[in-house]
Chains A and B, each alone.
Chain A
């Protein structure tokens, strides 16, 4: 009943030709899932940044807390992602929000750790100079510590985003959508090798691109490189 004659017979194609054909046929769908995947990862990381960067600054000044906070973040990190998703699913149900929360939890450690390290490594002489100039607490944070630590913080975000993109791929199992849907469909189709690639290659590409872009940003923000240019 369906118009099979109008469809191209793909059984004789090589897997690469099939992949090309699939992308051609389902381009908009692929793009939609790509965007969805990216947004889920980005939202998780951004939410984590909003919490973890201030927390990183805070624990950098309160050394006793640092061990505790980083310890807890470390424990979260050791939970396997599939287990974490399943546990959170019990509380938050299925859907994208649960995956965003999972990405959020995995992003906390790299961001806190890097913020903490970045702020800790700011030269005390600079802080003293700032204080000597009569800077307020806020000015010290905003004009001295943040710029000095920014490139290290970016490295943490970069780490978190790459992990987040991987975690989001598993989110398909709790109905979040994204490129994981395409991979999973390929696994289930009787000859879905090409579909698996159509889902897996963009996922890998997204992670690599995110890494490259943030690495570039990290270099741009490094105060030592800025000093050299001006």
Chain B
């Protein structure tokens, strides 16, 4: 394998040497006014003989023959800059692009590389959402949510009402690699999935890849969501404030070290607990209970010189439920405290180094942590009676080295390595019971090492044919078992016309982490565990093909893609197992490993996706449609028969429109439709008898009933559809721009299914007949928010 990598590099080097003598024009492209690095800026010669785009750190390199060239720097939403340059040696040229909105004093990334021509990109199955769009689209309770905007794109579905979990091309929420400045975020959800961790304030770019994965990414089967935080304004101190229905937020950014460095800090906290506390105390004898979550994003960067930059960034967020109860009677005092929390922490230290104009290096040290913690304590007369601490989580330390090598104008090579040390703690429990004198201290911990070596070449084979070929070699060591898997990736694009391309891709992915979930909705209680000798890594092979067409005059683009994805070794709980009993045997000894509680199977997803998108103009937005099938088969589930995945969705439609009514008034609306989720419905009930010569009760003396079900997931809930609208009105004030936003979620009050249950027709009459009931969550929910952006 090592020899293969060397061979590729040698061939590319030979090509470089044999080509006509060229010089390298390189540098960074930044936003004028903030000096924020711009990603995905197109740079090309006016005669279009050579071109490139800036990388994830705003760096570019272009090979040019000696002579005078008109170089075009183009980024939609920013002014196009044309510079005439005489090239006679390697040249460094940093460029500032003026935002089209700078006249308003705004310093926002109005558009991103999404708005490049789709027919020019080799990569397919990729979605890039401009941060501005995320902020324009109406949201539940006014809380802007990156992941929920991604759900509006074809091939990406939500699990159920209001949930921010992503189901990408038939994959579960555990199969998405969510990375923030290179750090993995394991549970990207607040409040049991109703809000995601990312509201977009501190983000510079969001990109989701759902197929044809570049070799630089690995470790998950279904998607990569790559988010980069803003660097912070290098010119001046500025900030934002926002007050919404359930949370408030703030952001501050500015320069330091005479503009060589900059920082950005943003935070958000909900205040449901603060607002409801007086009511809760009044109705509960002064006892308190509540819930809140908060996020904190921070980043600083420092430019040592033209060739070296360092970055330090981090995220910290937490959800917390709490209840504190105090009671007194008969001169006895009783106290009970319950805390239930979960949260993520990430940290990334990066060093960008321009080794030479053609070779860009990025070295990252990454930390990622997720934990669920439950703590309960009981006291009587200030003496502890009982305490319980339960925890589960995952902690990663990673080192990553990436190189961008601009070999020549036909080859752009990326290669690198990532090594991660994982510590999984699926189960840690400490119980102290003073009443019965029982203590328990149990901890299950797994340590493993995951590595990925990759090389990929974006090769312009001819003027019409381009490819992105790569190979990733992933390894995973857990205990005595080591897995080594080569993962070939290829994407091809052939331009039938300048604005029409045929595309195809193939990718193999391996996932060495499993999420044990018996809810299927991505709760914080879900457990991350490693692949082991017994529970093998998940893997997938995905092929996709499609067309991409740009309608430049009308500012439309159209993509149509079909895909087929086969997934192996996906896991599920054995029937009867649950996370609370991860160490309890279903079919084994009294206490067994979680490995014996899970079973593995395979899945298939295939379908077609259609996306028409308008990127510029007063009216922007898109219409997306997905037709798909997702099935699974486990030998130990559903009698070994194939069944539809819970999130199998035959039809999924989304319509998004954003209309700039005036310069300071933006209207937005969305409409979504989805086939109902596949569920297993109880049909028949029977008496559970005793095996102990007894007439009454089951084995445990309870009068419980057994249930016969439909075949697994053989019943469909009602379809889901919903419309949201919003209006943003901005006004320039003395110190900045103030924006009011009014929005309505579920405009026509559709009662969408959250789950189905069976219960008595008359709620309090046990003799009433049992009927099928749909539980819905959100009726029409109006919201209002106020934002102020300082100049």
Is the pairing of A and B real?
no
